[in-house]
C-alpha cells in the first residue's frame, strides 16, 4: 500500500488504491472547476464583445445607408423643384408668345381691313380732286363727264347682264344646287393654288356626321415634322333670290361653332352670299369673335386671302408651339421621374422595413442564445456547488470518521500506527 505524508502534521499513513484515487479525483475536480470558471468567463466576455461589435456595425451600417438615401432623396427633390420652376416659367413665356401670335393674327386681319378702307378713302380723295379740277376746267370737265358716263353706262350694262345671268342661273337650280355651286367655286379656287401655295395642306369635304352634324370643308396644314399649326372649319351658304324666307348669316353661327369644336378645328369661317345688301358683310373680312371664338364671315372673293392671312400668322407661332410641345414633354418626363422616385421611396421603405424586421429577429435569436448560455451557466454553477459540497465532505474525511462503525478496521489502523511509532 502507498504511503502518504501529511504536509501539515508530518504523519505518514498508508492508503489503499480507492483512497488514493479519491484524493487524486478531488485535486482534479478542483483544477477542473478553476478551468471551467475561467472558460465560462472567457466565453461570456467574448460573447459580450462580439455582440457589441455586431450591434455597433449593424447600427452604423443602417445609419450610413439611411443618411445616403436621405441625401439622394433631398438632391432629387431639389432638382425636381428646380426643373418644375424652370418648366413653369418656360410654359408661361411660350404661352405669352402664343397669345401674342393670336394678337398678331387679329392685327393682320384688322390691317387688311384698314388697308382696304385707306384705298377707298384714297379713291374718294382722288375723286374730290378730280371734281375740283373739273370745276376749274369746264371744257375738260364736260369731256370727262361724257367719258365717265359712257364708261359708267358700259359698267352698268355689264353688271345688269351679269345679274340677269346669275338670276337665270339660280332660277334653273334647286336650293341644294345653289349651295353646292358655292362649294364647288371655293374648291376650284383652292385647287388653283393647292400645289404652289399649299402643297402640304389638307382641304376636303367634311363627311363625318357621327356627331349629328357636319361642316362643308375642313382645312388643315402641318409642318414637315408633322406638327399641325392651323385648322379651319368652312361653311358655305347661299340661297336663291326668289326664296320667300331669307336667312341671315348669324343664323348659322351656333351650328358652325359646334362643328368647329367637334372636329377639333382652331378657326371657323362662314363663306356667305346671304344678306347681299348688308354693307357690314360687303366691306371685307368680318370678325364675329365677339359672338363666337375665332369665327369670321367673308364673301367668296376673300376665300383665298383669309386662308393666307391666318396661315402666315400661324407660321409665326409655329416655333413657339414646337418649344411648348418640348416643354410639355419635359413636364411629362418630370412627372415620370417623380413617379419613379415615389416608387423608389416605397420600395426603399419596404426593404428597410424587411431589413429592420430581420435585424429584430436576429436580436431575438441572440437574446435566445444568451438565455440558453445563462441556463448553461446556471447548470454549471449548480454543478460547481455540488462539487464544492463534495470537496468539503472530502476535506472533512478522516480515519476516525471512516472507522466509526468499523472497530476491527480501526484496530488495524491503531496497530499500524503503533508499529510506525516503534520503528521510529
- Decide if 36 contacts 380 (C-beta within 8 A): yes
Q: The pTM is what?
A: 0.41
Q: Which of 38-47, 253-262, 394-403 has the lowest mean pLDDT?
A: 394-403
pLDDT digits (tens, 9 = 90+) for 221-271: 988 888 888 999 999 998 765 455 688 999 999 999 999 999 999 999 999
User: Cell numbers at residue 49, please?
Assistant: 464583445
pLDDT tens for 358-376 read: 777 777 777 788 877 788 7
Higher-confidence position of 383 and 264: 264
Mean pLDDT on 183-210:
89
Nearest to 50 by CA among 290, 310, 362: 362
Q: Residue 407 forms beta bridges with which residues?
A: none
Higher pLDDT, 298 or 334: 298
Question: Residue 169: its pLDDT value, please?
Answer: 47
Calpha distance 87→326 (Å, rounded): 10
pLDDT over 70 at 109, yes or no: no
In whole angstroms, what is the distance from residue 376 CA to residue 363 CA?
Answer: 20
Q: Give residue 255's pLDDT.
A: 93
Please state which of the ranges 234-238, 312-316, 401-405 shows the lowest mean pLDDT.
401-405
The structural domains of the chain, ordered by start, are: 174-336 (3.40.1350)
Measured in degrees and rounded to the nearest 5, phi and psi for residue 396 equal: -80, -5
Are 368 and 375 spatial neighbours (Cβ–Cβ below 8 Å)?
no
Could you read off the pLDDT of 69-87 as tens digits, one per residue? 778 777 777 777 777 777 7
CB-based contact 229:223 (threshold 8 Å)? yes
3-state class of 272 per DSSP? strand
Amino acid at each position: 500500500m502507498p504511503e502518504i505524508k501529511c504536509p501539515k502534521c508530518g504523519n505518514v499513513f498508508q492508503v489503499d488504491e480507492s483512497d488514493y484515487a479519491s484524493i487524486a479525483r478531488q485535486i482534479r475536480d478542483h483544477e477542473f472547476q478553476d478551468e471551467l470558471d475561467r472558460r465560462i468567463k472567457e466565453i461570456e466576455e467574448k460573447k459580450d464583445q462580439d455582440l457589441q461589435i455586431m450591434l455597433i456595425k449593424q447600427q452604423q451600417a443602417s445609419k450610413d445607408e439611411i443618411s445616403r438615401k436621405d441625401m439622394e432623396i433631398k438632391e432629387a427633390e431639389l432638382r425636381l423643384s428646380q426643373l418644375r420652376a424652370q418648366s413653369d416659367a418656360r410654359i408661361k413665356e411660350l404661352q405669352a408668345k402664343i397669345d401674342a401670335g393670336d394678337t398678331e393674327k387679329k392685327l393682320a386681319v384688322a390691317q387688311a381691313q384698314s388697308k382696304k378702307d385707306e384705298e377707298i378713302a384714297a379713291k374718294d380723295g382722288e375723286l374730290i380732286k378730280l371734281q375740283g379740277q373739273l370745276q376749274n376746267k369746264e371744257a375738260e370737265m364736260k369731256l370727262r363727264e361724257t367719258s365717265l358716263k359712257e364708261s359708267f353706262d358700259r359698267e352698268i350694262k355689264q353688271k345688269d347682264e351679269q345679274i340677269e345671268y346669275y338670276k337665270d342661273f339660280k332660277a334653273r337650280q334647286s336650293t341644294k344646287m345653289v349651295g353646292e355651286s358655292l362649294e364647288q367655286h371655293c374648291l376650284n379656287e383652292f385647287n388653283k393654288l393647292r400645289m404652289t401655295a399649299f402643297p402640304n395642306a389638307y382641304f376636303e369635304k367634311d363627311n363625318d356626321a357621327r356627331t349629328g352634324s357636319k361642316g362643308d370643308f375642313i382645312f388643315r396644314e402641318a409642318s414637315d415634322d408633322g406638327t399641325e399649326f392651323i385648322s379651319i372649319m368652312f361653311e358655305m351658304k347661299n340661297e336663291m333670290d326668289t326664296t320667300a324666307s331669307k336667312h341671315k348669316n348669324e343664323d348659322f353661327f351656333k351650328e358652325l361653332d359646334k362643328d368647329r369644336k367637334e372636329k377639333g378645328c382652331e378657326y371657323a369661317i362662314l363663306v356667305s352670299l346671304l344678306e347681299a345688301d348688308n354693307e357690314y358683310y360687303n366691306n371685307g373680312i368680318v370678325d364675329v369673335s365677339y359672338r363666337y371664338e375665332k369665327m369670321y364671315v367673308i364673301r367668296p372673293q376673300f376665300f383665298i386671302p383669309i386662308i393666307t392671312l391666318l396661315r402666315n400668322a400661324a407660321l409665326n407661332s409655329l416655333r413657339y408651339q414646337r418649344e411648348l410641345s418640348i416643354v410639355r414633354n419635359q413636364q411629362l418626363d418630370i412627372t415620370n421621374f417623380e413617379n419613379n422616385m415615389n416608387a423608389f421611396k416605397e420600395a426603399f421603405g419596404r426593404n428597410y422595413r424587411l431589413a429592420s424586421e430581420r435585424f429584430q429577429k436576429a436580436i431575438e435569436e441572440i437574446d435566445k442564445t444568451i438565455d440558453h448560455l445563462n441556463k448553461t451557466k446556471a447548470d454549471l454553477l449548480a454543478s460547481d456547488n455540488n462539487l464544492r459540497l463534495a470537496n468539503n465532505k472530502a476535506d472533512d474525511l478522516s480515519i476516525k470518521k471512516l472507522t466509526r462503525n468499523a472497530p476491527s478496521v480501526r484496530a488495524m489502523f491503531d496497530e499500524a500506527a503503533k508499529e510506525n511509532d516503534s520503528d521510529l
